[in-house]
Structure 1
């Protein structure tokens, strides 16, 4: 009965809350009536159902189904899930400060966070964690979530881990005091050329604005004149972080985004005078994984003709969610408004055919040929808009369409390469190689620049990779192999660089031959190309 009482308390909370929103209306009475119907249903089940029922689970399943019928982004979050879901956007968590991977049932340290608790006590990349406290974790089938639960905890608490290090015969004991560990939004920031800067953001979190501004100032101090902002694969996050970033590129009082819903009046967000990059040329990189806050940034830049969008059509999420806590500590994340770009575009893709159809959209883009050719995308006239300065045509109703299209990487068309990626052969190979050669690599390449210039993936390394693939049932196809061997070498070298240094070095390598980056550099270095991109389709 306690579960039932908890549910009824939640129902009453919702009744009071919705009644306050709808006071004096027929809707308020309707909401009350439906809530009473739910209340009566659970009371009947609790009193008369043939078997024992977990009312709490029944209630949660009902809430999930109700929200799923509304739209794809209104969701229920149990109290156990709240911390995990919010943590990536809060900018930090409390833990021991390592990046890890589970390789062949062994928990391996990939890197220690600079300045973090693990680095301070001497834990190293390549160490294998055998025990956490008194619990054996090697060969137990432990998954990533289980590792996190054991290593994370309140700041100031202590965890003891036991490590097998290649150079040591005995297990090493490390006593580590947990501390706040930053979750960075910025993957890379460096100069692509003497005056073209590059910044890659992986999310829009609580610290993103500060990270971006710091990177922007640093690049400007290095003589950056123009910028490539890489938002590929960035699924979004906090809207305010997106607004703050757009603000850096705009003159004062320019509309960045506005929101509006049935019960939510129009709210405009405009630029301030704080922008520090108002004159340099801007290119934004997008793909089908760029969503929400990424689309706010690119939509504002495109609508004001402030820069050029290069890539493929973005995801198409134009809904705004608000979090409402329930009395038992759980939460509802409810869509309360649409957001609109400065020209009035709502870029939310349709979801009226249900969740399954919505989530199949990216696959449909593959099948339709959209990933290969922009000509396969057709928009009705009702979704056409004109930019605010140059009056060129842009589109709403399903993501941000790029000004310059880049087809999907052709290496993914080769079955052999695809299997190596999907069956996770390449990364374990790199981990093994690093485990055997870390000290020699560090000695031979004390600085990244020397590694970048001189290191080459050898034929013997590729033979080992092929052999590892064969152990997992991936037979080498000679024609496929020859077509993708250069991509394999680049990928391996980049992963080694990330392990030896940081993610920024990874991107310095992969971007050397990346079609998006090469096109961005070409456009920024050619004033005519850049200007044409901003005038394309002008009326």
Structure 2
């Protein structure tokens, strides 16, 4: 009886507040139930609501029933998303970081508008047009929106430069800023080159071609190709990049979907590095186009894959512009490596668990112990030499390298990573040199922290971080990566592999 009474009471509450049945709103013959519901809400709901916001949430709720990579992109965010794919944007061509409440220039892009007028690393942004921005705790997004704008428009920037009392003012004409997706390209030794690719943007294939030409001219015989942290990009660009490393007319990848029949992508032209020994570095953040690249070279036994299991994104999206200039990116196909592998990991347990899978890899020991890797698809695929490879959850490396747990576990009570970054940049600006162990007395003042509290391991790691950060301000990315790679376990393993061949 109590349960029955509760049900009746609940129904009574629901029914008791209804007015009499109302006629329909105009003609709804061609409307879907979702459109009808929104129309009734807009016309009749008791409070004023933002229908456009409700529309966005409705679209997002629909997409959550599909897969984790079908997404809605609101209009304000669409331009930035597209710029990442294009490899360019309209702006003034500088990067900044907030140091002691003031945005400080940490990079000036070669050939960009800021470089042309004379802005340099270490300059502190004091004003933008008529707005004072120094010491105002402006968010990065707000500062960026003030600096960016349509090509051809002007912005006046005031900067404080080290060693100069007066504020310097620059009138900068915004223009097209090209952002290279290859962040480092240099010779590690007389024979071995190194290339790090950050994303597969529309311009990166040309950047790669130029990098290979440069390294070949310097005598490169072997190559380390770094895709760690590379979340992917454009499928066609991945195919063009693989083309630089495979001979003959080989299949690079193929796609299949419900609407789209199988489409094969082949290499089409001679490449610049078709014969030399290669290692490709991957990790748990290497995804999508990175996995197409690594999977193709692995299937043809063209490169040794070094690192840890990749992310496992084997889905292909198309992007559509909606009527309000927002974007819809939906999955239309799966891609398969030349041996037939689909490396998409399962998302049947929901999107939250899908992204938590990265944390699960760490807690279950997979990132530190090769034997802890769980193969979800036991179907056996074969490389051209007959080696067994697997799909269904990422590209498995040929040479496993455990993650550096010292870096992950590095934490100092009372000292945030942000504060360390701030101190590293400030050291470079104030002293115009790379941090070394002799500089800890200075670092203590910048950090407002006594390093005597630290263990030897913590002090060494802190010193290494400050060295890298100060180098990043003073020199180009190649110098920065040369320093990092001296102790990078993945790079050292790749060097070991290449020197044995």
TM over 0.5: yes
Residues 41 and 414 of structure 1, relative CA distance in 2, 3 Å threshold: closer
* Correspondent of 2:54 among 55, 58, 67: 58
> Which residue is equivalent to 2:6?
none
Q: Distance in 1 between matches of 2:367 and 2:166?
A: 53
Alignment of 1:281-296 (within 5 A): 281-296=277-292
1:414 Cα deviation from its structure 2 partner: 4.2
Residues 413 and 55 of structure 1, relative CA distance in 2, 3 Å threshold: closer
Q: Distance in 1 between matches of 2:271 and 2:312?
A: 27
* Correspondent of 2:389 among 394, 397, 404: 394
User: What's the secondary structure of 1:216's corresponding residue?
Assistant: helix
Q: Distance in 1 between matches of 2:451 and 2:345?
A: 40
1:107 is aligned to 2:81: no
User: What's the secondary structure of 2:65's corresponding residue?
Assistant: helix
1:517 Cα deviation from its structure 2 partner: 1.1
* Correspondent of 1:498 among 472, 476, 486: 472
Runs of 4 or more, structure 1, over 4 Å off, are 417-420, 466-471, 474-477
1:183 is aligned to 2:179: yes
> Which residue is equivalent to 2:15?
none
Residues 156 and 37 of structure 1, relative CA distance in 2, 3 Å threshold: same
* Correspondent of 1:435 among 386, 404, 429: 429
Q: Distance in 1 between matches of 2:414 and 2:179?
A: 31
* Correspondent of 2:482 among 497, 508, 529: 508
User: What's the secondary structure of 1:94's corresponding residue?
Assistant: strand
> Which residue is equivalent to 1:210?
206
Contact 1:310–1:403 (CA<8 Å) still a contact in 2? Answer: yes
Q: Distance in 1 between matches of 2:182 and 2:275?
A: 23
Residues 174 and 281 of structure 1, relative CA distance in 2, 3 Å threshold: same
> Which residue is equivalent to 1:223?
219
1:317 is aligned to 2:317: no
Residues 383 and 464 of structure 1, relative CA distance in 2, 3 Å threshold: farther
Give a deviation string over 1:54-78, Cα, whole Å, max 9, x none. 1111111100110122111101112
1:174 is aligned to 2:152: no
Structure 1: give runs of 5+ residues left out of the alignment. 1-7, 13-31, 442-454, 528-539
* Correspondent of 2:112 among 111, 116, 122: 116
> Which residue is equivalent to 1:363?
359
Contact 2:242–2:252 (CA<8 Å) still a contact in 1? Answer: yes
Alignment of 1:286-365 (within 5 A): 286-365=282-361
User: What's the secondary structure of 2:268's corresponding residue?
Assistant: coil
1:493 Cα deviation from its structure 2 partner: 2.6
Alignment of 1:127-146 (within 5 A): 127-146=123-142
* Correspondent of 1:462 among 440, 448, 457: 440
Q: Distance in 1 between matches of 2:138 and 2:476?
A: 26
Residues 478 and 431 of structure 1, relative CA distance in 2, 3 Å threshold: closer
Alignment of 1:443-458 (within 5 A): 457-458=436-437
1:486 Cα deviation from its structure 2 partner: 3.8
Residues 226 and 125 of structure 1, relative CA distance in 2, 3 Å threshold: same
Q: Distance in 2 between matches of 1:93 and 1:413?
A: 34
> Which residue is equivalent to 2:269?
273
User: What's the secondary structure of 2:228's corresponding residue?
Assistant: coil
Contact 2:183–2:196 (CA<8 Å) still a contact in 1? Answer: yes
Residues 376 and 223 of structure 1, relative CA distance in 2, 3 Å threshold: same
* Correspondent of 1:243 among 239, 244, 247: 239
Question: How many residues in Structure 1 have an aligned counterpart in Structure 2?
Answer: 475
Contact 1:425–1:465 (CA<8 Å) still a contact in 2? Answer: no
Give a deviation string over 1:415-465, Cα, whole Å, max 9, x none. 446985x53232211221122112xx4xxxxxxxxxxxxx77033x22444
Q: Distance in 2 between matches of 1:406 and 1:316?
A: 18
Residues 118-127 or 90-99, more deviating: 118-127
Contact 2:427–2:435 (CA<8 Å) still a contact in 1? Answer: no
Residues 510 and 418 of structure 1, relative CA distance in 2, 3 Å threshold: farther
State the superposition RMSD in angstroms.
2.2
Give TM-score, length-normalised by structure 2: 0.90
Q: Distance in 2 between matches of 1:206 and 1:236?
A: 11
Give TM-score, length-normalised by structure 1: 0.84
Residues 46 and 456 of structure 1, relative CA distance in 2, 3 Å threshold: closer
1:302 Cα deviation from its structure 2 partner: 0.6
Structure 2: give runs of 5+ residues left out of the alignment. 1-24
Q: Distance in 2 between matches of 1:282 and 1:418?
A: 42
Which structure shows the higher helix fraction? 1
1:222 Cα deviation from its structure 2 partner: 0.9
User: What's the secondary structure of 1:59's corresponding residue?
Assistant: helix
